[in-house]
Each structure stands twice: as structure tokens, then as C-alpha cells.
Structure 1
Amino acid sequence: MSDSQPSTTPSSAPGADLRPRVERLLSDILGLMGFPARLDFKEASDGSLAVALHFQSGPPPGVEIGKRSQVMDSLQFLLNKMLHRPGTERRFVLLGAGVHPEPRGERAKREPAPAAAPAPAAAPAPRAPAPAPARPAKAAAPAQAKATPAQGKAAAPAQAKAAPARAVESDERSLEVAEEPALRAAARALAEKSSSLGRVYALVTMKQEDRARVLKAVSDVPGLKVACEGEGRNRRVVFTPDKAAPLPKRSILPADDDEDDLEG
């Protein structure tokens, strides 16, 4: 058996094929962004791969040459997520605009630590104020009792003025609107169906003018009562037949047992 160990070549080292992948991904991303750049690679001191992006037609908005930015940090985060899959050996890639970025450890060694703020000098203790003369309790009680009814009387008109008056829904039958043939035909078809089958129907999410057109179109359909009910966005046109027929059993929805299944 030979004692010689296989030599490690640069091509078999971890992350040797990282540069082509980084160049391909970055070129595609920058091309889609509309800011193509020339890529300059450099081995960082901590083993990571530093890449300087030299933009061909100027940097993107928010990016300054030689400075960190949210755009470059986001691009760096996205690139590393695309390069490394869970469970595989990782080699971090650093991106810089026009320069090779320094690893975080090197940057921390070069920058001086912030000086601790000096402790504030102790302020002298304030002198205790002289005690104020106590007022008699009997004199304060009547004054407070007299002020309470006056405040209640003054607050009542203010509350009454603050409450806004609710707008009253106008009657659609009193509106003068132009007739629309398509809406008239659809409304009459639904009214005749409601009268013949004995079913109650309702038209919702309609403008006031359209509700008035429906009432006008079905006013002469026999065996049917049509009226507007509700307020605001919930106002609707309701078709109520004179002889309502019950739904057949096959049309009745079964009981909903979803809550019982969730509790189990």
C-alpha cells in the first residue's frame, strides 16, 4: 500500500467553480436591471470572494462608487441565496460598487471603537418646597358639587351638536331616469321568473339611477312586489312573489360540519 496522499489542486478546492457561476448570475441580474457591469474578482483575506462591479453606463439609482448602499446589500444577499443551497459548503461573495469590499472582520479592525460617553455629573438634590397651607375640606366640597351640574348641562348640547345627522335614502320611484333597453329586458326577465317560480330574488351593488330603472321596468309585472330595501352600499332591489314556493329538499344545503372536524 502506498503512503502517498493525493495532492489538492486548485480545481478540486471547494468553491473553485464559483467564479463562473457568479459571473453568469450577476451578468443576468444586472442585464435585467438595465445596468450591465464589468466584474473584477479578488480573493478576500477571510476566504470569501470579493467582486468589484464597474458599471458601464453609470451606477443604478441609490448606488455611489466606493460606498455601501441598500441596493448593493440586497443584490449581495440575493446572489448568495442563489449560489448556496442548504446542506452544501458555502463560500460567501462580497459585492462592491467600483471597489473590492473589505470583509466585515477587517473593517471592524480598521475602524476605531466608539468612545464611551462620559457619565453625566450628579445634579444637586433639589430643595424640598415649603408645604402649602391646607385648605378646609368643607369649603372645597360645595364648590365641586356646584360645578358638576353645570358641566353636565354644558356637555349635553355639545354632544348633541357633534352627532351628525344620517342622510335619508330618497325614494327611487320619484327619480326621473332615462330608460335603458338592455337593463329593462333583464329586469323584466328576472321579475317574470320570480313570479312564476315563487322565488325571492335581490339585485345588489347597483347605483340609485339603475335601481330606479328596474322599478320602472317591472312595475306592471303581475303577481309580484318589487321594492328597495337597506341603506348605503347594502341597498338592494328585492323581488317578492305573491305566492312564494318552498325550495325542494334537494336544493337545501347540508349542515356545515367543518367546525366539528376542526375541533377533533
Structure 2
Amino acid sequence: MFRALQYIGPVGLGATSPQLFRAQNDAGKIKVCVVKLTINRLGAKVLVNELLAVQFGKWMDLCFPPGGLIQIPQDLLQKSRRLGAAGVPPGWHFGCEYLDRAGYVTKYNLHRAINKEQMAGVMLFDHLFHNPDRTENRKNLLLRKESNGYKLYAIDNSHLFRRGRWTIEMLKNMTDSITLNHRRSYGVLLKYYLNPKHFLHYAQIVEKISDEELLAFVESIPQEWLANIEERQALGEFLIARRGKATWVAERLSELIPNVNRRTDVY
């Protein structure tokens, strides 16, 4: 969790109009955070999607930036004419740490990354939760030079469930379906770097997540983000059902590997 300390200004041109804040995390450290507000034009459910990604990122050890709930207090809002004019309410919004000195991933720099195998988990996550935006938006994969080498980061999970703003009926229709994505960086990863062992590793992690853990996550979603009880119940049921399909999704992704020898390298 974070507590906003200072408003910096808008960042980027995304559909959710992200904003930069200086904030303090639970450990007392000061971070610059990219914040998605509850009043963004796609609605508060995209914040639910982002929080879902943070939780699965922790469970699966994915290369998502640290993130979670950020509290914006009333006194901070009163200091900003921009936030006041926009009608930003005090309370809980979504924030993740801003990655400075990061560049976009291309087919020419992907080979530098030291954590390419983590992308098997990101790909599995995206296919479990119907996120086409990781490759449709070329700005959602970053490469950042760190002390031990270049590291990949997957950012922006607003568009889970195909377009972010999901309904109960949409969740039901997506429970048993999959749309395979092997475009751009995903195609390069499948062609040169990943094999079935990588995907199955993450599938096994997902399948060990208990019903109680999944339902506890749904319960932790702020009430103002998801007030409808039936929608909360439908989301919990969807998460439990998709968890049971993790190996199936991993197998489908493995079938996309063009190198037949690597495609059959399961053990």
C-alpha cells in the first residue's frame, strides 16, 4: 500500500489518464508512483484489474512493478487545482512504482533481458485473464538496465478481460475460452527462448492457489471499486474456474512454439 504525499502531474497518454504522485510505501520509503484514479474514463473496474495483476504477480513471481492500493487524502487534493477541477475523490486509488530510465521492448533489444523466462508467466497470466493489450500496445513491455543486467517489466493491466470494463455475462463467456496471442515480442519469445517447462512451471504455481486465497483477494477489493455483490461473486467464481485451466492454457501456448524439438521438451 502507498500513501500519496505530493501530486506531480499527468504522465503518458493512456486511456486511463495516469497521474504521477510522490508516495510513501508500507516500509516508509518514498517512491514516485503511476496512479490510476477511480474517476478514469474506463471506470473503476480497471483498478480491480490492476489489483488482480498485482496479486497474481506476487503469487507467480512475475515481472510486474510493485503496486497496490494508494490512499490520496483530502488535504492533498485541496492543494491541486487540477485534481480539484477533475473531481478526484479522497480515498483508495491504484498505484504502482514508476520505472525511470526504462525503454520500450523491441525485437532488437529483447535478447538483452536476463529474465526472459519470467515472460512465460506473464504470457500465461495474460491468456488466463484475456489480456490482448500486452502486444497490441507496444508500450506495455519495458526494458530497464539494473545492477545485474537488463530486466523486462510488464506494465499496464487495465485491459484484462479483453477491454477492461467487464460484466457478469462477459465473465461467463470467457470462462472456457482462449484467444492465442503470438504477436510481436511474444512471437520472438516463443521462437527463440521459451519451452513447455517454463509455461508448466507457472501453471503449477497457479493451480496451487487455494479457493480461500482467491476469495480473500476478491474480498479485499475496495467497496467503492466494486460495490455490486453479484459481480464480486462472479469474479470469484471466474478466478476459481480459470485457475483450474492453467495447465490447459500452458499446453496451448506450448503448441505455438515453432521449433518442434523445443515444443516437446517437457521434462
TM-score range, shorter chain: under 0.3
Which structure carries more strand by proportion?
2
Task: Flag the structure with larger Rg.
Answer: 1
Higher RCO (C-alpha 8 Å, min separation 6): 2
User: What TM-score, normalized by structure 2, do the two folds share?
Assistant: 0.18
